[in-house]
């Protein structure tokens, strides 16, 4: 089973962020999905947060992917805490 299939499965049952450290690029790759109760546009909000931290990404209202520099990961978590409910 591919990594992306496993990640999509986990995201589907948990509605929580999934992340993986990529040592060669010194960044975390993050995938976020919002459930029906999510009231924010994840694409816009997480795009703003990741850009502020020197990262990047793309997404839409209920799903978002981001790349965050390793040293900014905890700050990203703190800034985005509570977005996905």
DSSP element (H, E) containing 12 = helix 3-14
Complete domains list, the chain, with CATH: 3-80 (3.10.310.40)
In terms of pTM, does the model score above 0.85?
no
> How far is the CA of 21 from the CAs of 1, 27, 29, 39, 74, in angstroms?
20, 6, 6, 28, 13
The torsion angle over the Cα atoms of residues 28, 34, 35 and 38, rounded to 10 degrees, is 140
Residue 5 confidence (pLDDT) above 70 = no
Percentage of the chain with pLDDT > 70? Answer: 69
Q: What is the pLDDT of residue 71?
A: 94
Mean of pLDDT over the chain: 76
- Determine the average pLDDT of the residues in 14-42: 74
How many whole angstroms from its chain centre is CA 3?
Answer: 16
Closest alpha carbon to 64 in 24, 21, 29: 29
Q: What is the pLDDT of residue 64?
A: 81
């Amino acid at each position: 089973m591919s990594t992306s299939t496993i990640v999509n499965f986990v995201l589907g049952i948990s509605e929580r962020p999934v992340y993986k450290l990529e040592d060669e690029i010194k960044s975390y790759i993050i995938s976020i999905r919002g459930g029906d109760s999510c009231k924010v546009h994840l694409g816009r909000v997480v795009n703003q947060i990741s850009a502020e931290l020197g990262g990047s990404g793309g997404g839409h209202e209920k799903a978002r992917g981001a790349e965050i520099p390793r040293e900014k990961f905890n700050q990203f978590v703190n800034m985005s805490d509570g977005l996905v409910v």
